[in-house]
Structure 1
Amino acid sequence: MDIFTITISAMPAHTTAALRSMLLLLEPALGARWQVVDKPPADVVLLPAETLARLKGVAGGPDELPLYLALGNDGERPSNAYAMLKRPITPPRLVEVLHLAEGLIEKLRAPQDDLLTVPLIESLEAEGKAQLAPATFDTRVRTTLRAATWRLLQDPIAATLIDNERRSIFSHLPGAGYHTRLTLAEFANVFRENPPAVLVELSGAERDTLRQARDFKPLRELEWTFWICSRSPWLRPELSPEKRYRLRRWPDFGRLPHYQADIRMASALMAQAMTLQQLRSRAGVPPETVMNFLNATYAVGALIEVDDVTVDARSAPKAAPPAPTGLRGLIANLRRRFGLADPKPVAKPALRQAQDAA
């Protein structure tokens, strides 16, 4: 497995420490292929955009190593940077730019006379199969299952993910869902192992063949498996750790991979709305486990946000009916004092009701 290196330069100490911690937490999503080094040489150098702009003409560009990753607020990406990170840095964006760097680095590392232009997405037809020679597969188009699935979830296209032995892990067809020959347990286990994989776009003929499969599953169930089995250490952007959430319905654990902790968290959120920290304390699990459960339940449409106004309105006691006044109130007080029941209202005859209505 290829290892890539990154160094952080010209940054304040607290920013450097925060970035190092984020990169460490993102190891599962990055396939444990990245190492942080204290100083160059490194494959990627992360530094402020304004610093990189001053090095224009000195520091290289996306066609040579090292690659420069710019960190800034707003503004254009420096011409000598292969990508730009905007503050505040989000884990999905950091994963995205590092996956982009992997492909560039692998091409730049390869000898130019042996370099084959093989993009990540290829066809399974005869020409595409010829391009997926063993050496090419292992060194230039390989990524990880989780990384390829994440790419597919961002832009669902007609594609197949194949493993090291050219076997299909699963296929996706827009409008139909995803199809896999693996059992539920096998499918979950392969996501936990996160093997090398290639995302292969399907041709028109291959799409027609795939449509003949009868056991398509919704894409949201694939996303559930991705979150539950990948243990990604971040919340999806639609969720917030400060807000409270509850389950609108019980997840279908009969067809979705899960752990015992997921059942405990589902029970807790069916009973009441909680924040991430409250759910973590109730279930007794690490924070990333709670994050992935919230991400997964949101993906299948089972999670809803509960605001304080709604909770207060539901929990407020109902107002008591107004007490009778006048002669009726006096009679009612006397009846209660002597232990007599309140008289039941007598229904009006149908004719009397019709007369009143007229």
Structure 2
Amino acid sequence: MTKSNDKTYDREREGVITALTGLTLNLVLGAIKLAFGIVTGSLSMLSDAVNNLSDVGTSAVVVSSFAISRKKADSGHPYGHGRFEYVAGFIVSIIIIFVGAELVSSSVRRFFTGEKSTYSLAALVVLVLSIAVKAFMAIMYAAKNKRVKSDTLTAACFDSVSDCVVTALVAAAFVAARFTDFPIDALCGVVAALFIVFGGLKIVVGNVNRLLGERPDGATEQEIAEIVSESPLVLGYHDLMVHDYGAEHKVASVDAEFDKNLSFVEVHAAVDEIERKAYSKYKINLVVHSDPVDVSDSRYLAVRRAVVAALEVYGRDASFHELVIDDKDKTVGIHLRLGEKLMRERDHITAEVMSAVDSVLTGYTVTAEYDFM
């Protein structure tokens, strides 16, 4: 347990240091541009300075997200505070969208008024310096995020990339303005602003989906499936569900099938081992529910094999559980668990299952119930 807590602390400490580095760079860059803008009287430079200083606020949000998400679980938040990172990522992306929208508005106005920006050579040097610093920040965020895996750092990285794009277009427009009277800087501003807005919207959608409880990526489910399947006593599994409470806190549950003739002690030991492996390897709090299966019934095993073969073609998007043979009513009850796309083909899939059952158990009717995967 101590080792796990140390890993959590290292991740959050690294995230805080990265965010503080970004905050400091934004503050220094904004101060330089602000001073230069005041001395030269360049409104564009002052505007760019304000943009960098607003990025200080963005960095502050990122820092606070790690500080809050590291708080331990309490009575009011039994699953911890890890999801605050998603809230912070949402806030940062909203800031990005507002900045982009303002840039769209100002660029459109300048395009129709024909207003041109006038920069000195010194201003161009400042812009190039700004691009270099922002590129460094984007690389830093991306490199650190490979380990930290934080949505807020993802948003901060995109913010730095979009600043690079905007500033590069401003610098290019400055050079081009020497050769034409066309308000090319305004046009470049619109293009850059649209890039920022659509990128911000994409990040918003990602964070909202996480807060709503989107289905985890296939890799997480595969990791759990492998651990469950590794147990020599597990015959199969179903109803795997994963709940995301933050990058370092996932809770999952799964129904595992065991031979009903095994003792309670044997099943309990196997379940404990599966749950321990899930936490030690992937820091997933896994709860395993045991389902008894009668492996002494040859007909049951034959029907089971037939259904497995029928569903195998659909991969991980189709599974089944609670297979029951009722000799009195001549029925075979089964719960089919299908993915979203396969639910549209459930009649066809059920017909295939019925055919598979009939090949083993003639004269029995299949009664299917459906679970959405």
- Same fold (TM > 0.5): no
What's the TM-score bracket when you normalise by the shorter of the two chains? under 0.3
TM-score, normalised relative to structure 1: 0.25
More helix by share: 2
TM-score, normalised relative to structure 2: 0.24
